[in-house]
Structure 1
Amino acid sequence: MRRRGGTPLSTEPPAVAPHDAEAPSNRRSIDSADLVLVVEDDPDIAELVAHQLHKAGYASEILTSGSDVMPLVRERPPALVVLDLMLPGRNGLDVCRSIRADPKTSGVPIIMLTAKTDETDRIVGLELGGDDYVTKPFSPKELVARVGAVLRRARREQPPPSLLRFGPVTVDTDRHLVTCDGRDVRLTAKEFLLLRYLIEHRGRVHSRDVLLSDVWGYAYTGGTRTVDVHIRRLREKLPALAGAIVTVKQFGYKLIEEEADLPARP
């Protein structure tokens, strides 16, 4: 957790009871997509929220002034902003309006922190594009639960990427084009769908029956041998991925999860 604006605070989490000293054993791995920006000028509230986010597996950064928000979110859009409405420098409603007006940040979810009596601010904040609000005083654990719920909803609403990449291979799902090392590779419709499916579900083992159901459709009446034929053709047409498409004996196939594990090319 990092803090910007105002007097720097210790990056150590606040003191907690012994049974809270360690994060849960099911903590998720943290990546940049899980960064939560906490904009709150009360240091005690900000640190407590950041600590609960850390326990839940989220990285966090604290800002104490509304005027510092837009430069940061434009440079590195966070996964979500927890935004107090009463801020020095620039109030939270104005910040919310700016986040929604900027094309680069318009999709960033916002949870607003409001005083219990500020019904008008809550309504205006939601109308400006806030995704949820929590009234003070609040439970930090409830706030973190709302963070998770808003993030799940936002990710469900995101359109799937039109470009899928794995190693030297790029799949353009909009134009149904495949390139390898920048060169076009001609695939049949089913080969294309099979490759796309494997990349989107990399690291998972798929039985032939599952591949027939998900790629060919439940009404397909051919035998599972057709899966083997299409896998062989993908390996032939995309030799750079031949070693990455792994046969799981007596079961099916998988595409390795990490590009770093791609076999060395001659």
Structure 2
Amino acid sequence: MKQQYKVLLVDDEPDILELLQYNLEKEGYLVRTALNGRKGVEEARAFQPDVVLLDIMMPEQDGVETCRQMRDMSELQNSYIIFLTARAEEYSEIAAFDVGADDYIIKPIKPRALMSRLTALFRRETKKKKNSNKINVGELVIDRTSYTVNIGEQQVTLPRKEFELLFFLAQNPNKVFSRDDLLHNIWGSDVYVLARTVDVHIRKVREKIGEGYITTIKGVGYKFELN
């Protein structure tokens, strides 16, 4: 039986919610909606969606703060958060990725293109699960089957993209990857994000697991250090 994925739509424009809900349900997704950020957080906690599609400019609470709160929720640790927004400024995109967004799409929304994007996202996810394994480096244990990271007895919580970035680098120890390499392998070729997004995620991973694992090769990129 085909898995039925859950999608939460958070936008203050009822017409956009109605359009996206119609197209998503037609493709077999389970859908819930919210008209503002606060309600979106409540719905996310109850619904535990696989994907959140989130606007930035909303009443009561904007999308960036909403994303930050969702990323602090254990229920959404493995959920994708994708911004759908009219805000095309670079600083807005950086702010979105800084709080844990997985993708950033500029309105106007093309429903068919969005459906294709979600299909590709879940196809990659299924492929990753089939190739699940565990990496042990000293006290550091990275387990893709459970999406957990442990340092000794302490479990560290990483949002999905931070986890995938760490796992990819650790799976290829002592090999240097440019930002473009990492964007292609972690975010995919069908997603446009800024190169700075990699730097933001690397910084966050280092804050959580320590500075000794991922090395910056100036002017080139990053590598996972294995002595």
TM-score by length of 1: 0.45
- Rounded Cα–Cα distance in structure 2 between residues aligned with 1:125 and 1:118: 11
| Unaligned 5+ runs, structure 1 | 1-27, 162-172, 175-266
State the partner residue of 1:192: none
Q: For 1:107, what is the secondary structure of its paired residue?
A: coil
Question: Post-superposition, which runs of at least 4 consecutive aligned residues in structure 1 deviate over 4 A?
Answer: 155-161
> How many residue pairs end up in the alignment?
135
Alignment of 1:122 with 2:93, yes or no, is yes
Larger radius of gyration: 1
Equivalent residues of 1:35, 1:78 under 8 A apart: yes
Q: Secondary structure at the match of 2:57?
A: coil
RMSD: 2.8
Q: What displacement does 1:29 show?
A: 5.7
Pick aligned residue for 1:144 from 90, 115, 140 = 115
Paired with 1:112 and 1:68, the residues of 2 have a C-alpha distance of 16
Q: Which has the higher contact order (CA 8 A, sep 6+)?
A: 2
Amino acid aligned to 2:78: G
Quick one: which of 44, 57, 68 aligns to 1:73?
Answer: 44
Q: What is residue 84 of structure 1 aligned with on the other side?
A: 55
Find 1:59's aligned residue among 27, 30, 44.
30
Match of 2:71 among 100, 117, 139: 100
The alpha-carbon distance between structure 1 residues 129 and 80, as it changes in their structure 2 partners (threshold 3 A), is same
Task: State the distance in 1 between where 2:129 and 2:37 align.
Answer: 27
> How do 1:1-266 residues align onto structure 2 when only pairs under 5 Å count?
31=4, 34-157=5-128
Kept in 1, the 8 Å contact 2:11–2:36? The answer is yes
Give the Cα–Cα distance (whole angstroms) in 2 for the partners of residues 116 and 76 of structure 1. 27
Q: Secondary structure at the match of 1:37?
A: strand
Could you state the TM-score of these two structures normalised by the residue count of structure 2? Answer: 0.52
Query: For 1:240-264, what per-residue CA distance to the aligned partner results, in whole angstroms no more than 9, with x for missing partners?
Result: xxxxxxxxxxxxxxxxxxxxxxxxx
Secondary structure of the structure 2 residue equivalent to 1:60: strand
Q: CA deviation at 1:76?
A: 2.7
How much does 1:132 deviate? 1.1
Preserved contact between residue 36 and residue 61 of structure 1 (Cα < 8 Å): yes
